[in-house]
């Protein structure tokens, strides 16, 4: 037990949590943007997968990490636009279109890397530059805090900064206000002359960028190559984290952290011969409970008819 506590109550552990939380945070933020714009976010999983592949392949061809990130972001925006076209112009059902994107991503990613890398499972054979970890001078020297906060991947810092940026965007800028209005009540927005379609596409662009960064992190930061199905449900967890965070960027940061915690906790718990799989169910169980409680409270107010 002492051994176990030793591994939990260390700065390295919290460092791991932050690392594990990064892709979830990107996914959750992307879901948040979709939701604010009134769009269903079930397709984020697929978009991130495509972006992870695009990042890895892109960085190989441009032989630079930055090139990879740019390609990943572009992929995110293009796929989001495709999703937008299919749901807004072709009027497909959003949830179905999202599921279709997930299926498409599943197949298309394997397809592409087969041609680029010659393998079907991963791009390990490719020499693609990765995104570096950054040591923050000054911070690094501080005991404990330095160990927790310094040395993370560049995109981890980007994710946290973007959380703050998005909070500012949505709650303090005209653009954010307009996106929130078209998401919640497009008629009200149209009645004051706002072009709903234009803002839907802006929403898609922002979300696509976030998904792109999340995907790039997975294949160029978390690990150094793309492998099939590597998003492994983080897109869906992002949806849950967004729901638990009640659509607020800081709440989402907190719930993403919670998921990261549960994830790394499970691995640690194996030391205690605690069944790892049961612990792995925890984040999902907690989400269901949290959502049920929250929805129940909300419905009480309206429970007249």
Partner 1 sequence: MKTKSKLSYVEALRTCVAIGVSLLIVCIIVFIISDAPILALSDFLFGPLTSIRRFGNVIEASVPLMFTGLAVILLQRAGLFNLAMEGAFFIGSVAATAVSLSLNLPPLLTLTCALAAGAVAGGITCAIPTVLKVKCEANVLVTSLMLNYICLYFGMYVIVNFFQDPKMNSNYSYKFGKGVELGKLFSKTRINSGILICIACIIIVWLLLNKTSFGYKITMVGKNPKMAKYSGMNIGKLVIGSSIVGGMIAGLGGAVDLFGMYQRFQYSGLTGYGWDGILIAIVARQKAQYVPFAALFLAYMRTGADIMSRNSDIPSEMIKIIQAIVIVLISAQAILSGYKKKLIVQEARESEQGA
Partner 2 sequence: MGNDILKMDKITKIYGNGVMANKDVTLTVSKGEIHALMGENGAGKSTLMKILFGIEDKDSGSIIFDGQSIDGKTPAEIIAAGIGMVHQHFMLVDSLKVYENVILGMEPKKGLAINKKKAIQLVKDLSKKYNLNVNPLARVSDLSVGLKQKVELIKVLARNAKLLILDEPTAVLTPQETQELFEQLILLKDNGHTIIFISHKIKEVKRICNRITVLRRGSLVGTMDTANSTEEEISKFMVGRDVILKMDKKPAIFGEELLCVRNLTFENQNHKKAVNNVSFSLKKGQILGVAGVEGNGQNELAECIFGFYNHAEGEILFKGKNLLKEKILDIRKAGVSYIPEDRISTGVATKVSVWENLVADRIDSTALRTKKLLSQDKIHTMSKKLIDDFLILCRNDNQEVGMLSGGNMQKVVVAREFSANPDLLIANQPTRGIDVGANEFIWKKIIELRDQGKGVLLISADLNEILELSDSIMVMCDGEVAGYFEDSKQMSEYELGLYMLGLKKQGSEVSEA
Residues contacting residue 165 through CB under 8 Å, at least 6 positions apart? none
Task: Note whether 14 binds partner 1 by CB under 8 A.
Answer: no
The dihedral region occupied by 227, where left means phi > 0, alpha psi between -120 and 50, and beta the remainder, is beta
Taking CB under 8 A as the criterion, the residue among 6, 120, 135, 172 binding partner 2 is 172
Helix (H, G, I), strand (E, B) or coil at 153: strand
Task: Note whether 191 binds partner 2 by CB under 8 A.
Answer: yes
Cα separation of 245 and 39, whole Å?
17
Taking CB under 8 A as the criterion, the residue among 5, 95, 188, 190 binding partner 1 is 95
Task: Note whether 184 binds partner 1 by CB under 8 A.
Answer: no
Please measure the distance between the N-terminal and C-terminal CA atoms of the chain and give it in whole angstroms: 54
Half-sphere exposure of 211 (CA within 13 A, CB side): 38
Minimum distance between the CB of residue 41 and partner 2, rounded to whole angstroms? 18
Cα separation of 77 and 304, whole Å?
43
Q: Which stretch binds partner 1 (CB under 8 A): 60-68, 127-135, 142-150, 236-244?
A: 236-244
| Contact mark string toward partner 1, 50..79, x via CB under 8 A | ------------------------------
Task: Note whether 305 binds partner 2 by CB under 8 A.
Answer: yes
Task: Note whether 107 binds partner 1 by CB under 8 A.
Answer: yes
Task: Note whether 89 binds partner 2 by CB under 8 A.
Answer: no
Q: Which stretch binds partner 2 (CB under 8 A): 59-67, 90-98, 166-174, 216-224?
A: 166-174
User: Nearest-CA neighbor of 26 among 245, 259, 280, 253?
Assistant: 253
User: Nearest-CA neighbor of 8 among 285, 292, 269?
Assistant: 269
Question: Where do contacts with partner 2 occur on this chain (CB under 8 A)?
Answer: 168, 172-174, 177-178, 180-181, 184-185, 187-194, 302, 304-305
């Amino acid at each position: 037990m002492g051994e176990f506590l030793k591994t939990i109550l260390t700065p390295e552990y919290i460092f791991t949590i932050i690392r594990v939380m990064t892709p979830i945070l990107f996914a959750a933020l992307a879901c948040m943007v979709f939701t604010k714009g009134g769009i269903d976010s079930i397709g984020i999983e697929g978009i991130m997968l495509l972006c992870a592949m695009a990042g890895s392949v892109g960085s190989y061809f441009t032989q630079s990490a930055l090139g990879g990130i740019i390609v990943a972001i572009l992929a995110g925006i293009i796929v989001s636009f495709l999703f937008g076209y299919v749901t807004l112009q072709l009027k497909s059902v959003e949830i179905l279109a999202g599921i279709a994107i997930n299926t498409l991503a599943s197949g298309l990613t394997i397809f592409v890397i087969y041609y680029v890398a010659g393998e079907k499972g991963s791009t390990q054979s490719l020499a693609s530059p990765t995104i570096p970890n950054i040591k923050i001078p000054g911070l690094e020297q501080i005991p404990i805090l330095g160990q927790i906060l310094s040395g993370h991947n560049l995109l981890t810092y980007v994710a946290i900064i973007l959380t703050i940026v998005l909070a500012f965007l949505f709650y303090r800028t005209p653009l954010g206000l307009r996106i929130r209005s078209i998401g919640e009540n497009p008629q009200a927005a149209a009645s004051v002359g706002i072009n709903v379609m234009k803002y839907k596409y802006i929403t898609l662009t922002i979300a696509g960028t976030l998904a792109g960064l999340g995907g790039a992190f997975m294949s160029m930061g978390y690990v150094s190559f793309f492998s099939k199905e590597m998003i492994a449900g983080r897109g869906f967890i992002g949806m849950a984290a967004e729901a638990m965070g009640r659509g607020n960027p800081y709440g989402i940061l907190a719930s993403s952290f919670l998921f990261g915690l549960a994830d790394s906790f499970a691995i640690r718990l194996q030391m205690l011969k605690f069944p790892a799989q049961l612990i792995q169910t925890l984040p999902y169980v907690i989400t269901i409970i949290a959502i049920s409680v929250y929805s129940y409270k909300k419905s009480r107010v309206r429970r007249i008819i």
